[in-house]
Amino acid sequence: MKRLPVEAMAGHTWLEQLFSWISLGLELVGVGIILAGAIISTAVFVYWLLKEKSLDKYYQEYRSTFGKAILLGLEFLVASDIVNTVAVGLTFKDLGILGLLVLIRTFLSFALEVEINGKWPWEGGEAAGKSNT
């Protein structure tokens, strides 16, 4: 088995550390987006609820806004998992864990997308159901 020079291994450790920090940064951004979305959408909802005293009018918009923040945060968390697994330590166990995490988060994103839009993603936009007459 051929050994790498100490200088090459030190550079590799430095690169792993860099990608570890990048992964942590992406994770923090994802969590920050979810927290900011929760706080801001809730504050706006409470403001309009107290001002208008109409729950039905703003509830769907609140859920939609908060759901979009969760979706965006999940995208950053998936990116963090990918960077962490692929760049830092790629073993078959890590790859399996990454696959499960991506699968679970993709399912959550899909479910939230359906909840926000009220239709399946393949049903298209609003104009898709209208005729061209």
Tens digits of per-residue pLDDT, 17-38? 888 899 899 999 999 999 999 9
Q: How many domains in the chain?
A: 1
Is the pLDDT at 12 greater than 50, yes or no? yes
**What is the per-residue pLDDT for 14?**
79
Q: Which residues contact 86 (CB under 8 A, 6 or more apart)?
A: 98
Q: What is the pLDDT of residues 66-104, one digit of tens each?
A: 988 998 998 898 888 888 877 766 677 877 887 888 888
* Domain assignment of residue 54, yes or no: yes
First to last CA, the chain: 73
**What is the per-residue pLDDT for 120?**
72
**What is the per-residue pLDDT for 36?**
97
* Domain assignment of residue 5, yes or no: no
Tell me the residue type at 3.
R
CA distance linking residue 131 with residue 79, whole number of Å? 39
Q: Which residues contact 113 (CB under 8 A, 6 or more apart)?
A: 71, 121
* Domain assignment of residue 127, yes or no: no
* Domain assignment of residue 101, yes or no: yes
**What is the per-residue pLDDT for 38?**
96
Q: Which residues contact 83 (CB under 8 A, 6 or more apart)?
A: 19, 22, 23, 26
* Domain assignment of residue 91, yes or no: yes
Whether the Cβ atoms of residue 105 and residue 125 lie closer than 8 Å to each other: no
Q: What is the pLDDT of residues 97-123, one digit of tens each?
A: 878 888 887 888 788 778 777 777 677
* Domain assignment of residue 7, yes or no: no
**What is the per-residue pLDDT for 129?**
45
pTM of the model: 0.69
* Domain assignment of residue 130, yes or no: no
**What is the per-residue pLDDT for 111?**
82
* Domain assignment of residue 35, yes or no: yes
**87: containing domain:** 16-120
